[in-house]
Structures are given as structure tokens and as C-alpha cells.
Amino acid sequence: MTAGDLFSRSLSKVRALMSGSPTRVRAPSERDIERIRQQLQECAESRGGEVSTRQRAARLAETYLRLNDEGRHAFLRMIALEFGPDPARVADAHRAYQKAVGSDRQWDAEADLRAAMRSRRLRILTQFNAIPQGVKFLVDLRADLLRYLSDDPLLKPLDRELEGRLSAWFDVGFLELQRITWQSPAALLEKLVKYEAVHEIRSWDDLKNRLDSDRRCYAFFHPRMPLEPLIFVQVALVDELADNVQQLLDIEAPLADSSRASTAIFYSITSTQEGLRGVSFGNFLLKRVVEDLQRDFPRLKTFSTLSPIPGLARWASRNPAECAQVLAGADWKRLAAAGVDGPDSPHLRALLGGASDWVQDHALVRALREPLTRLAAHYLLNAKRDDKPADAVARFHLGNGARIERLNWLADTSHKGLSQSWGLMVNYLYDPDRIEANVEAFAAEGRVDAAAAVRRQGRS
């Protein structure tokens, strides 16, 4: 059997394992651990030529994919702890650099110091690029790594190096923006259904509706992952600011005339690859999509989202004193008539914790509209985590230059919408004339741009 035959067999096994084909997954024995260590050592030393490198990377990928969760953790821990820079070599190079500062040797000494600090971990990881699906393998490997990280901080150096390498490989300049349509490959459409994280796609009719002529779906792709959308956005072309996602998703609703649309509503944005956490390209996606839409639909003047507020109910349940302060000015007579007799009412505590059965009580729905909208505005404007908005979706859009334009009561009456934000959704408006100023103010001062009505609602 030739080297080429061996390589082809190895690649076939890797493809089968990555596609989810049934295989034997097991914990590693001591003998397996030593064999893995030897394989990693060979990769770190870059022995042989190009064919040897590819064979080695394919075998190592196959080994990793056959391990169970405990084995994969051990594999990554071995790379992190045993294949970093040599401390003695770094110390020697640093001393030599300090002595050379100010002399003709300084720049050579600096290069030597950089070489000493170069990690063998990166040499191992980079070799997976040599195999088909190698980039996807590394993205999935980092997804595993992130799961182990919270309980094993010794993996942090490996995660930092891998995130840095992936950030370079997934630079927005390498990404391709594509529109996804009903005529796109079936495998790609299945990925949309699988990955959609904001509003579940319930059927093929539902998916077809989201790809109809009054809708658009765009995604970023990497050339080495052609059927794996990295992030995608779903857009509705309408004639006014949307305030109800069920109406947008209604498959029975009549088709709108997209040529007359004045407003583009980004109603779902989904990042698909957990292994690319920390690698940011969502803001570039929205900018590119706006440009594409403006070219195709010159009548479009307004670009807005209809976004969930996923952290609202969870924040409220964890901050009862702050919620009570915000709700102090509520119309408690009206609330009492609807069955909520005060800030400590068990009914209200259950509601703030995410209960969803209250929506059937029309009197309660009317009584809760003002206080819960006020609480949502306060949360978006004032709740912080690390000096940034506590809500992840708010952090994304405000960081990209959007303005909090409007809060929408009972805009999402699905179980998910009611349990995470009492059915409230928010419009983030992307005003081309204010985006850059908003980005700078948010980055420098944490300043949140919001419409006057939202600011009035958020005053506690």
C-alpha cells in the first residue's frame, strides 16, 4: 500500500467521524495516552515532508474523534501542559535581550526571544490545516475546550493561542457573504434549521416562508467550510417598524411587495460555531447586509432589529430589591385588582422569575404592561456586567452602533419569549448617520444611545 493510499484511508476515517457516522468512542488506556503523547511529539517536531505531515495530522484527528469526553479532556490537557514554550530557553533569551538593548545586537536578540516564546502547541494545531475539514476540526476542538475550561483553568493558555489563531484564520477579509434561498443546497438548508437559535424553525413550510420574496437570509462562510454558515441573519422587508414576531413568522400571512418596502427588520441573528466564541464578525455581517439591501431595494430607509431580551427575567429574579425600587411607582391599585397585591406578592415573584401562564388573564396583562415595560427599559439602560450592558443581545447591537428605539409589549408570546422576557422585545435601530459616533461613545464611555421614550420608561 502506498503512502497516498494510507493518507486517503486516514482522511476517509476523519470525514466519517466528523459527519457523525457511528463509531467506537471510548476512554483512553495508559497505552493509548503514551501513543497520543508520541503522536503529539511527532507533530511538534514537524518530522518529514508534506505527505508525512498530512498523514500525521489525519491520524491524530482520528484518534481525538474516537475518544470519549474524558479522553478528549486528557488530550487537550496534554497539549496545554506539555507542549508550551521551554521556560529555560525563554529565560536565557530574555537575559540575552536585556544585555543587547541599545546595541547592534538588540533586534537579533528580540527575534531570538520571540522564537523562544513560540509555543509548540501552535505548531501542533496548525498542522490540522493540512487536511480537508481541518479548520472545522479545530473549531469543534475549541468548542470542546471551552466546555472544560471553567473547571480546568490550566487549559487557558491553549485556549488563548487557539482563539488567536482562529481570529486570524476567520478575519472578515477571508469570509464570503452569501444569500441563502429556497434553491440553496438541501444540506445547507438543514443547517439553518439545526442552528437557528432565536426563533425555532418548526417545519419546511416555516423555512420556506422565511426565504420567500419578502424575506432575505444572509450568512458568512469561510472558504474551508463552504457548507457551514458561521453566522446568519434573517430579514423581513416591511413598511413599518415591526412590533410582533409572531406576525413576522406567520406562514399564512399574505406576501408583501418587497419592492415597496421601506423598512428592513433583522429579526434573527444566529452564531453557529461555539468554537468561534470571541471571534467577532457579526458587526461586519450587518454592515454588508445593509449595503446589499440598499443596492437591491432603494426605497429602504429604516434598518432595525426586532430582538429578544434573553436575560431580563433571569436578572429580575436575581435582583428583587432593585426591581422593587423600579416598580415603586407602579399603579398598585390596578395591579391589586388584577391579583397582584404588592412587590412581595408570590404571584409577582413567580412572574418575574419567568412564569408564563399569566398571559391568559387579560386584566393582568393590561395591568402589567406599564410596570414590566418600565422594568425592561431600566434593565437595558442600567443593568451592567463588567461595565457593559448585562444583556448579551443588547451588548452586541449597542456595541455595533445601534440605538434602543422602542420596547414592544407581548411581541413574542411563545413559551420562550414569555419565560425569558415576559413577551417583551426591543427594536434596535441602525441609523447610518449615528452608527460611528455611537460605536465610539459606547467603547470609550459605555454610553447607551436610546430614544427619549425609552429613557423616560427607564427612569426609576
Band the pLDDT of 123: cuts 50, 70, 90: confident
Question: For 155, how many CA atoms within 13 A lie in the half-sphere containing its CB?
Answer: 22
Q: Which of 199, 222, 378, 397 is catalytic?
A: 397
What pLDDT, on a 0 to 100 scale, did the predictor assign at position 271? 94
Lowest average pLDDT, out of 168-182, 333-347, 402-416, goes to 333-347
pLDDT tens digit sequence for 22-45:
455 667 888 989 999 999 998 888
pLDDT in tens, 259-287: 999 999 999 999 999 999 999 887 789 98
At 268 the three-state DSSP class reads strand
| Average pLDDT for 104-130 | 90
Per-residue confidence (pLDDT) for residue 170, from 0 to 100: 94
Q: Which of 258, 307, 356, 421 is catalytic?
A: 307
Q: What is the mean pLDDT of residues 134-148?
A: 96
DSSP 387: T
In the structure grid, which three cell numbers stand for residue 106, read together? Answer: 538588540
Cell numbers linked to 152: 480546568
Q: Is 378 part of the annotated catalytic residue set?
A: no
Return mean pLDDT, the chain: 90
Q: Are strands 215-221 and 384-385 parallel, antiparallel or unpaired?
A: unpaired
Angstrom CA distances, 318 to 321, 329, 373, stand at 9, 20, 18
Sequence-distant (6+) residues with CB within 8 A of 435 are: 400, 401, 402
**What is 86-129 written as a DSSP string?**
-HHHHHHHHHHHHHHTTSTTHHHHHHHHHHHH--HHHHHHHGGG
Residue labelled with grid coordinates 420596547: 407
Asked whether residue 365 carries a pLDDT value surpassing 50, the answer given is: yes
Burial class (CB in 10 A: 0-12, 13-18, 19+), 304: buried
Q: How confident is the model at residue 338 (pLDDT cuts 50, 70, 90)?
A: confident
Q: Which pLDDT belongs to residue 274? A: 96
Q: Which of the 8 DSSP states describes residue 449?
A: P
User: In this predicted model, what pLDDT tens digit does every residue of 309-330 receive, in sequence order?
Assistant: 999 999 999 998 898 888 888 8
Separation between Cα atoms, residue 53 and residue 42, nearest integer Å:
9
Phi, psi of 116 (to 5 degrees): -65, -30
User: What is the H or E stretch that residue 395 is in?
Assistant: helix 392-399
Q: Residue 451 belongs to what H/E stretch? A: none
DSSP string, 5-53: HHHHHHHHHHHHHHTT-----BPPPHHHHHHHHHHHHHHHHT-S-HHHH
The answer to whether residue 460 is catalytic is: no
Q: What's the farthest any 2 CA atoms get from each other in the chain?
A: 85
Joined together, the cell numbers standing for residue 408 give 414592544
Residue range 366-392, pLDDT digits in tens: 889 999 999 999 999 999 998 899 999
pLDDT of residue 15: 53
Long-range interactions of 148-155: CB distance < 8 A, separation 24+: 148/73, 148/76, 152/73, 152/77, 154/77, 154/80, 154/81, 155/76, 155/77, 155/80
Strands (E), 131-213: 176-179
What mean pLDDT is predicted for residues 442-449?
93
- pLDDT tens digits, 163-185: 999 999 999 899 999 999 999 99
10-19: buried (b, 16+ CB within 10 Å) or exposed (e) per residue?
A: bbebbeebbe
Q: Is residue 20 very low, low, confident or very high in pLDDT (cuts 50, 70, 90)? A: low
**What is the pTM (predicted TM-score) of this model?**
0.87
Dihedral sign, Cα of residue 359, residue 364, residue 365, residue 370:
negative
Angle (nearest 5°) at CA 64 between 58 and 67: 145
CA–CA gap between residue 324 and residue 329 (Å, rounded)? 9
